[in-house]
Amino acid sequence: MIGGFREVIFNADPCRRTLDPIVVVGVGRDSFLMTLDCQGLFDRFINRTVLTFGGSGNENIYQKQVVELAFQRPFLMHIILTITATHDRFIQDGPGSHKQSLAESYHGAKGAQLLSRKLSSQIHPDDRDPIWASAAMLGISSMTTLEAAAPREAWPFKPSESADLNWMDMSARKEAILNLTDPFRGDSIFRSMKDTFFTIMERPASRPIDELPKDFVELCSINNTPDPEENPYYYAISMLAGLRYLKCNRDSIPFWLKFIGFMTPEFRRLLELKDPRALLLTAYWYAPLCGSVWWIARRARLECQSICLYLETYYSQEVDIQKLLELPRQASGLSN
């Protein structure tokens, strides 16, 4: 923590109270003052928020090396303050907690603007680690962005919008940043995470039909397809089968995210059309996430509930679907 400060000035932005001695992030036109409110967010990032993402044992990279970079790169500091302000809001979990706070909106907009400007300019070697750290945290932030306060206001129950599933595209965006920054090169602060990262990024193997849940095999007519891999539900069911005995926690959650990272275009299209079988499979993926880390749990719970309500409302005549809904209903809190 930066010591010896006192409140001296009031500003118009969400970090209203300025520090004395003054702590400045960055240099030049994009620099800004760390204030009491910003310092509080920064401290909570180091001591709390950073402990909720990434695998155990990687905290030191973010707590020391990434935060050192953040004082040199305003876009990274703004993103750190944004994700911490979001965590603050989720911890409160009271009325209105689905709406972004002023601090989130301010730092989120500034971080995105400055990062976009950096990406459109010349990338220097020492820019690569700050850019990768920013992309990793923005990927987490994309999962938290959900304005719905109740399941009927969430996807898929609400009227469709073109951006409903955009948050699932984080893997493709992150791959582009991966190619740009090469975060596991020899001089990167992230090099120690290389083996774990590429294990997580490895495409899950397809499982034979006899290893898949029989209820889903029958429901989705997997056996009726000459080549099971041509069935649009097959790969989703195969990935769910591989997760059945994996406890969902902070260390394992990257493996759960493979469900969206390796989702086939055919299955994604079915979700966009609100196909009942694709929705049911997604509800089964969401179910264990409902009780996991904060940055995915709220979305998982609300959208899992929304899927259940949608299928109960519009597909009540499909007995097999209604029977299989019981597990996601319980996991999401719809059933006691």
Residue-wise pLDDT tens digits, 6-19: 333 334 455 544 44
Find out whether 309 and 151 touch, Cβ atoms under 8 Å: yes
pLDDT at 95: 59
pLDDT at 269: 97
Find out whether 9 and 18 touch, Cβ atoms under 8 Å: yes
Find out whether 296 and 331 touch, Cβ atoms under 8 Å: no
pLDDT at 243 over 60: yes
Q: Provide the pLDDT confidence category of residue 198 given band limits of 50, 70 and 90.
A: confident
pLDDT at 206 over 50: yes
> What confidence tens digit (pLDDT) does each residue in 103-153 have?
999 999 999 999 999 999 999 999 999 999 999 999 899 899 898 999 999
Mean pLDDT of all residues in 34-51: 94
Nearest to 297 by CA among 41, 86, 8: 86
Calpha distance 150→299 (Å, rounded): 11
In this prediction the pTM is 0.89
Upper half-sphere CA count for residue 54 (Cβ side, 13 Å)? 19
Mean pLDDT of the chain: 89
CA distances from 132 to 215, 297, 302 (A): 41, 24, 30
Query: Exposed, middle or buried by CB within 10 Å (0-12, 13-18, 19+), for 208?
Result: exposed
Q: Provide the pLDDT confidence category of residue 171 given band limits of 50, 70 and 90.
A: low
pLDDT at 248: 92
Query: Exposed, middle or buried by CB within 10 Å (0-12, 13-18, 19+), for 312?
Result: middle
pLDDT at 68: 96
CA distances from 182 to 64, 131, 196, 197 (A): 20, 10, 15, 12
